[in-house]
Amino acid sequence: MIPVSYYLMLSAIVFFTGVAGVLIRRNIIAILLSVELMLNATNINFVAFSDHFQDLGGQVFVFFALTVAAAEVAVGLAIIIALHRSKATINVEEFNLLKW
Amino acid sequence: MLYALIPLLPLAAFLVLGLAGSRIKANAHVVAVPAVLLSLVLSLSAFAEVASGSIISVPLYTWFTSGNLDIHFGLYIDRLTAVMLLLVTVVSSLVHIYTIGYMHGEPGYVRFFSYIALFTFSMLMLVLADNLLQLFVFWEAVGLCSYLLIGHWYERASACAAATKAFLVNRVGDFGFMLGLLLVWSSFGSLNYHDVFPAAHESAGQSMNLLGLFGGTWEVPVLTVICLLLFAGAMGKSAQVPLHVWLPDAMEGPTPISALIHAATMVTAGVFLVARLSPLYNLSPTAMNVVALVGASTMVLGATIALTQTDIKRVVAYSTVSQLGYMVMACGLGAYASGMYHLLTHGAFKALLFLGCGSIIIALHHEQDMRHMGGLRDKLPVTYWTFVVGSLALAGFPLTAGFFSKDDLLVSAWSSGSLGQVLTIFGLLTALLTAFYSFRLVFVTFWGPSRVDPHHAPHVHEPSRTITTPLLILAVFSILTGYLGIPAFLEPVFSTQQDSAVHHGGAGLIIMIAATAMGLGGITAAYYVYVLNPDLPDRLAQQWTSLYQGSLNKWYVDQAYDRAFVRPTFTTASALWRRIDVHVIDGAVNGVARAIAWGAWLLRLIQSGQTQHYALAMAMGVLLIVTVFVVF
């Protein structure tokens, strides 16, 4: 029986990998992937706790999260295509219009 | 109640002209002249009623009541008021008629009529007032009208400057007037004549400590302080030394105004004030002496300046200053009736002289310098003869009104005591100067060779009948007012004054002869200097350079005021502007703005537009919160 703290540590490592990716990478697709990593880190948490507390609610939640994530990725990719069309690049530093 | 219409008719004319002026335009006189003429008729009827011995008192309405301060507006007509009413309405009517011709075709025709109607209303309310506050309100109102009318040709810088000067100089006097009012209120608890005058006797012994505020002791009778403060107002309005400087400059206004406001009516308000408040002044010998001395110095100063001026209106203006000095001096010596008598005759002949000047000015296309006149006798016969009558009256030529009033004044002055006798000597000398300068004006303007601009010379002709008719009427008055027995008529008002018996004493006759001799001597001297020896004036001017320059430059009073008050004010204002305003006030305001702009610039650096920077800030924030949560 693997203790729940192991899962949580894995989840934390995956989550911070995602965070680092979001903060550091310049490629928008990579950033999107990193966001997915963060999302899945939480999914690991949900499943781990669901097993630990013997409550199926956590696993149900993961299905919701996966569905939403799929939709989100679809929207995200669409945005990336739109961005690419406007500036012919997917380097996030080029998109700095959102300021004074 | 009917008499309330005396002031209200001109007010109505003012309102109609002021509100509907743009539709009335060139017909302004159709509104204004009948209103003033009706006022004149009503004044005559009021005069007749008062002459029969009664006193008319018409309460109008309560202005305000606050605690035990109760301010009413009311009309009070006794003999003093009645003669002033006649003076104001007669001169005002004639000036209204004269204005039709004088201002014909001017762009400000309606404005001019509305202002003189407003002036007439204010002046009438001033003389009709039954309390000091009402008097003060209309005292200021006539000052305002004077300001507006001096600045009638407001596009001229000199007119604007003159109007401002008149207003500011009067402010100095009116400040004293206002303090006087407050002191009357605090001493007597009322501002009504009929409350103050009977109470004056009781407070005659009271004194106040003027240095109390600074810990010193300087006991001065309250009445003296009141009288002197109120007289400060009179000095401003009646152009007494040292506040005389505004009146000559006021000649920038159109000539009808000079005749109405700055010769016959408004400037005599100060004399009227002293006469009206005679029950107070009688109780303060100190104030009386000050009044007499101020009047006498004004009288001499005005006459000496009038000798050398070259602008015809300025000669007459300084003559007005000098004659006002006579009246104030008479009041200061207790000869109120004589002062008022001279006020009335002066109102007639000085208005005549000013309107005559206006007639000349119009005929010569706005030429006012007498060096560019001469030989106008044949071209302007009506103006010439009426001007001569006015000048004779001013010079005190026998059997003119000025002769009677000036003699009466000097005789009363002589009989009033030792101060009066000294001042009478000065009065006689001034009479000599008066005759000299008034006939200098006549000879230089109307006699001798023509020095008129040859461009205009062929077109010089007598102005229209609306201008000459008032001249003729005033010429008649300049003789006639001497025969109406005005001093005897006014005597009951000032009944506590010296009996009139002294008028017939031996000294009286001597003074009468002396004054007549002075008048004739002055006229002869002027004839000798300006007709027989036309090059003599220049030689005299060279021989007595300092005197001549002093007189020509009005004894440098304007320059002294300029140095003492005007320029320091400008310098201070300029320093406040350039240093305090620009650097401190603007600096503070702009500094705040700049600090905010700088702060905003710093904050703006955070907002880079890079989403990752925002995400980093968010992550750091979360980290911080979690750290705090874990550690504490």
Mutate to test the interface with B, among A16, A17, A19, A31 (most CBs of B within 10 A): A19
| Per-residue confidence (pLDDT) for residue A37, from 0 to 100 | 94
Partner A contacted by B611 (CB < 8 A): yes
Residue A100 lies in a domain: no
Residue A99 lies in a domain: no
Q: How far apart are CA B429 and CA B406, in angstroms?
A: 13
Residue pair B90/B40 in contact (Cβ under 8 Å)? The answer is yes
| Per-residue confidence (pLDDT) for residue B505, from 0 to 100 | 64
Residues whose CB is less than 8 angstroms from the CB of residue B304 and which lie 6 or more positions away in sequence, other chains included: B433, B551, B555
Q: Using an 8 Å CB-CB cutoff, list chain B residues near A38.
A: none
Domain harbouring A20, CATH code: 1.10.287.3510
Find residue B76's DSSP bridge partners.
B57
Angle at B115 between CA B193 and CA B90, to 5 degrees: 65
| Per-residue confidence (pLDDT) for residue B500, from 0 to 100 | 46
Indicate the burial class of B116 (C-beta count within 10 angstroms; 0-12, 13-18, 19 or more).
buried
| Per-residue confidence (pLDDT) for residue B456, from 0 to 100 | 77
Residue A33 lies in a domain: yes
Partner A contacted by B604 (CB < 8 A): yes
| Per-residue confidence (pLDDT) for residue B133, from 0 to 100 | 92
Q: Quick one: CA dihedral A13, A14, A18, A19, positive or negative?
A: negative
Asked if the interface predicted TM-score (ipTM) of this complex is over 0.90, the answer is no
Residue pair B85/B120 in contact (Cβ under 8 Å)? The answer is no
| Per-residue confidence (pLDDT) for residue A64, from 0 to 100 | 94
Q: How far apart are CA A11 and CA B523, in angstroms?
A: 125
| A84-94 CB burial, b ≥16 within 10 A, e <16 | eeeeeebebee
What is the Cα Rg of chain B in Å? 30
Q: Using an 8 Å CB-CB cutoff, list chain A residues near B615.
A: 22-23
Inter-chain Cβ pairs, chain A and chain B, closer than 8 A:
27
Angle at A26 between CA A25 and CA A27, to 5 degrees: 95
- Taking CA atoms, B383 is separated from B377, B434, B452, in Å, by 8, 20, 16
Residue pair B151/B253 in contact (Cβ under 8 Å)? The answer is yes
Q: Do B610 and A92 touch (CB under 8 A)?
A: yes
Q: Do A100 and B610 touch (CB under 8 A)?
A: no
Q: Which of B43, B44, B41, B33 is nearest to B10 (CA)?
A: B33
| Per-residue confidence (pLDDT) for residue B504, from 0 to 100 | 52
Q: Quick one: CA dihedral B21, B24, B26, B29, positive or negative?
A: negative
User: A31 vs chain B: nearest CA distance in angstroms?
Assistant: 10
- Three-state DSSP at B65 gives strand
- Taking CA atoms, B500 is separated from B7, B344, B399, B427, in Å, by 34, 19, 21, 20
Residue pair B110/B145 in contact (Cβ under 8 Å)? The answer is no
Q: How far apart are CA B484 and CA B482, in angstroms?
A: 6
Q: Using an 8 Å CB-CB cutoff, list chain B residues near A98.
A: 609, 611
Q: Do A23 and B607 touch (CB under 8 A)?
A: no
User: A34 vs chain B: nearest CA distance in angstroms?
Assistant: 13
Q: How far apart are CA B369 and CA B256, in angstroms?
A: 18
At position B440, the amino acid (one-letter code) is R
Q: Tell me, letter by letter, the H, E, C secondary structure of B548-588.
A: HHHHHCHHHHHHHHHHHHHHHHHHHHHHHHHHHHHHHHHHH
Flag residues of chain B having pLDDT under 50. Answer: 497, 499-503
Q: How far apart are CA B382 and CA B472, in angstroms?
A: 8
- Which helix (DSSP H) or strand (DSSP E) does residue B62 occupy? strand B56-66
Q: How far apart are CA B32 and CA B42, in angstroms?
A: 16
Q: Using an 8 Å CB-CB cutoff, list chain A residues near B607.
A: 99-100
> Nearest chain A Cα to B613, which residue?
A23
Model's pTM, two decimal places? 0.81
Pairing of strands B56-66, B69-77: antiparallel
| Per-residue confidence (pLDDT) for residue B296, from 0 to 100 | 95
Mutate to test the interface with A, among B606, B608, B611, B626 (most CBs of A within 10 A): B611
At position B422, the amino acid (one-letter code) is V
- Domain residues for the domain of A80 are 4-94
Number of domains in chain A: 1
Q: Do B609 and A96 touch (CB under 8 A)?
A: yes
